[in-house]
Amino acid sequence: MTTNARILTAASLPATLALAALTFFLAGCSGDIAPGDGPQGDGPPGYGAARKLRVVATTGMVADLVRNVAGDAVEVTQMMGAGVDPHLYKATRDDVQTILDADVVFYSGLLLEGKMADTFVKVGRSRPVYAVTELIDESKLLTPDGAEGHPDPHVWMDVATWAGGIEVIRIALAEQLPDQSEAFTKNATAYQAKLRELDAYARTAIATIPASARVLVTSHDAFNYFGRAYGLEVLGVQGLSTESEAGLQRVNELVALLTERNVAAVFVESSVSPKNIQALVDGAASRGHAVRIGGELFSDAMGPGGTTEGTYVGMIDHNVTTVVRALGGEADACGFTGTLTGCAE
């Protein structure tokens, strides 16, 4: 499998984007890709059964899924690090070369990495390229008003739904390394169990927030799946993509809501400028209502590598624990993992 219906939605992007991507490839990467240049193929020196499968993943959330399924059998290169916004990310010349050198490429899909969509289509002609969201039941996808038929890509905010990406990765890796298939299945089963525990923690913890306080206001609409899964009303200043601009009318609407409903806290995001959230805080203050910033949430990127929040489980654990504690619920500062950054301070 090299392409699928959701990959091909790139064709719906503006023609100028497709032309720009093609020009980039022709100018900087001639695309000399030969089928079979994988770990078991007849490619250049250095290839062969002795080396690990080279996998490229776009976001941290995708890379972490791959690492948990693959174990030590695969070398994973993550393109986007902590604090990087995938909506706005443009592949560099080095990024494209890394993709061309990979045996397998995984990306999130649903146009999250919109500026890279044409890159994936081109590379997918001669390398296995998979959107980890491709097997998710379409009935579980959200398509907000004004999204022009494109589902909300922030699926990882619903742990149970995001777990559907595990099977995509397991199948893809088993196709490349059939002798490791049993290990991939074992790893996938163990990780699915871990995510079920995380999902249960999120439900239990968020249920402790007083019903009237279950309002989550963030920088952009990245938390709709989170709200649906765990019973929160979610409001973002910007739309699904951080490319959209927050209008004064939207800010004023949210300020009025914060004041009328006595919302105590709003949240900034690690990969988005805090200016719009600060505008809400200032606007509410001008109306005599004190709103505090309840903390920083991880939306489109995980935390720094080497931290608990630099894993998918830790990212969600941090978000759940931060929201619960800021909105009046009950959650241990160390969270589900017991190792959240700063919890022992």
Q: At residue 27, does pLDDT exceed 70? A: no
320 pLDDT above the threshold of 90: yes
> What is the pLDDT averaged over residues 179-187?
97
Q: What is the CA radius of gyration of the chain?
A: 21
pLDDT at residue 219 in the model: 85
Residue recorded with tokens 């490839």: 25
In this prediction, residue 334 has a pLDDT band, given cuts at 50, 70 and 90, of very high
Inter-CA distances, 140 with 41, 97, 152, Å: 38, 35, 11
Residue 8 vs residues 2, 11, 124, 131, 165: alpha-carbon distances, Å: 11, 6, 10, 11, 18
68-118 residue pLDDT tens: 999 999 999 999 988 888 888 888 889 889 998 999 999 999 989 887 877
| Cβ atoms within 10 Å, residue 251 | 17
Per-chain mean pLDDT for the chain? 84
Residue 122 confidence class, pLDDT cut points 50, 70, 90: confident
Structure-block tokens of residue 41: 């193929």
Q: Is the pLDDT of residue 245 over 80?
A: no
Domain extents in the chain: 7-201, 208-326
Q: Are 7-201 and 208-326 in the same CATH fold?
A: yes
Whether pLDDT at 3 is above 70: no
Segment 284-288 shows an average pLDDT of: 95
- CATH number for 7-201 (one of 3.40.109.10, 3.90.1150.10, 3.40.50.300, 3.40.50.1980): it is 3.40.50.1980
- State the Cα–Cα distance between residues 29 and 7, nearest whole angstrom: 21
Q: Which of 85-89, 115-119, 155-159, 211-215 has the lowest mean pLDDT?
A: 115-119
Residue 207 confidence (pLDDT) above 90: yes
Average the pLDDT over each of 143-147, 272-276, 286-290 and give the range with the smallest value: 143-147
**Lowest mean per-residue pLDDT among 34-43, 154-163, 247-256:** 34-43
CATH class, range 208-326 = alpha beta
* Whether residue 57 has pLDDT greater than 50: yes
pLDDT for the residue 83: 80
* Residues 6+ positions from 86 with CB-CB distance below 8 Å: 58, 59, 80, 108, 112, 113, 300, 301
Confidence at residue 181, expressed as pLDDT on a 0 to 100 scale: 97
- pLDDT exceeds 60 at position 243: no
Q: What pLDDT is attached to residue 147?
A: 65
* Bridge partners, residue 266, by sequence: 293
Give the model's pLDDT for residue 242. Answer: 47
Per cent of the chain over pLDDT 90 is: 62
pLDDT of 51 strictly over 50: yes
Is the pLDDT at 215 greater than 60? The verdict is yes
For residue 50, pLDDT over 80 is answered with no
